[in-house]
């Protein structure tokens, strides 16, 4: 293991253990036998990838570099390429489904999709999904215009801040960082981050609260236009989300991602997306 990644790996190991404990605690009634569980999972109602051999990936198509529409009009992105490789190695069919992010819970509960793979934050969502092991470090940060004069959280007082609806950043600003948000002139939400950054560039808002990876992507595209505050709203991890109870698929995806890292696929993919803000330094699943 590379020394420069030791801290990242340890952080993700802690998160992974925490996720396993949560899953074990929410795994079902103590009166349910293992044979009953097996029978239930084998019914026609089981739409998991492990049962159907088809991975139906729900993602936000306006979420670069993790999922977006490429120059050729096809869906692409770091997470989508990970998903396609995982499916290929397991002999699964893969179906990429762009979704309205607000509808993700309804879609996964109904079986219209069987996973959420889109820079998906674990923290704060542990009880709502079954997760793979965390694979990427992330944080929630604030981005402003380079010429705004905003250099700290204190400077955000009286400013207009925007974030994506139902995002991890919104959860943090209405939770642990609610006192900070109370100092804003307003906290606004919008459907996608691309539009949020258009509003920031035009001066319609003063700052964007978003994932570190999104900030890195936008700043790499326009380094003279934006700057990121040194302070972070929170630190967290990305993982793949599945319907509660789908441990079979979650475990298989985690195992396959580890194999992909061992044989160099992950590092090569990180390098492919390096100019869009992806860093192998933040990969933490080994």
Assess whether pLDDT exceeds 70 at residue 94: yes
pLDDT at 44: 58
What pTM does this model have?
0.74
Cβ 240 vs Cβ 255: under 8 Å: no
CATH fold, domain 3-29+45-135+239-282, is D-Maltodextrin-Binding Protein; domain 2 (3.40.190)
Model confidence band, residue 90 (pLDDT cutoffs 50, 70, 90): very high
Torsion sign (Cα): 61, 103, 213, 156: positive
Domain boundaries, the chain: 3-29+45-135+239-282, 138-236
pLDDT at 230: 95
pLDDT at 277: 84
What tens digit of pLDDT does each residue of 198-228 get?
Answer: 999 999 999 999 999 899 999 999 999 999 9
Identify the CATH assignment for 138-236 out of 3.40.640.10, 3.40.190.10, 3.40.50.300, 3.10.250.10: 3.40.190.10
Which two structure tokens, joined as six digits, stand for 95?
A: 């179906």
* C-alpha to C-alpha distance for 80 and 65, rounded to whole angstroms: 10
User: Which parts of 19-172 are beta strand (E)?
Assistant: 54-59, 62-63, 67-69, 75-76, 93-98, 115-116, 130-131, 136-145, 160-164
Model confidence band, residue 12 (pLDDT cutoffs 50, 70, 90): low
Cβ 206 vs Cβ 161: under 8 Å: yes
């Amino acid at each position: 293991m590379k020394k420069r990644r030791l801290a990242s790996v340890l952080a993700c190991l802690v998160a992974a253990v925490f996720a396993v404990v949560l899953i074990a605690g929410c795994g079902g009634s103590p009166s349910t036998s293992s044979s009953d569980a097996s029978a239930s999972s084998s019914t026609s109602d089981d739409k998991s990838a492990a049962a159907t051999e088809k991975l139906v990936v729900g993602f936000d198509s306006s979420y670069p570099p993790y999922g977006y529409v490429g120059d050729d009009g096809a869906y692409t992105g770091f997470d989508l390429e990970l998903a396609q490789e995982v499916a290929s190695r397991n002999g699964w069919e893969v179906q990429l489904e762009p979704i309205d992010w607000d509808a993700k819970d309804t879609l996964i509960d109904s079986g219209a999709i069987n996973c959420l793979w889109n820079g998906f934050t674990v923290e704060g969502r542990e009880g709502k999904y079954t997760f793979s092991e965390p694979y990427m470090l992330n944080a929630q940060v604030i981005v402003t215009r380079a010429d705004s004069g905003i250099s700290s959280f204190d400077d955000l007082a009286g400013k207009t801040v925007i974030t994506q609806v139902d995002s991890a950043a919104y959860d943090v600003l209405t939770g642990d960082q609610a006192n900070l948000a109370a100092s804003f002139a307003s906290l606004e939400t919008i459907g996608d981050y691309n539009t949020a950054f258009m509003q920031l560039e035009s001066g319609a808002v003063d700052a964007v609260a978003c994932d570190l990876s999104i900030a890195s992507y936008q700043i790499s595209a326009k380094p003279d236009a934006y700057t990121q505050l040194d302070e972070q709203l929170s630190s967290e991890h990305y993982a793949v989300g599945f319907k509660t109870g789908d441990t079979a698929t979650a475990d298989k995806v985690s195992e396959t991602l580890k194999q992909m890292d061992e044989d160099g696929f992950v590092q090569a993919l990180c390098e492919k997306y390096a100019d869009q803000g992806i860093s192998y330094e933040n990969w933490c699943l080994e």
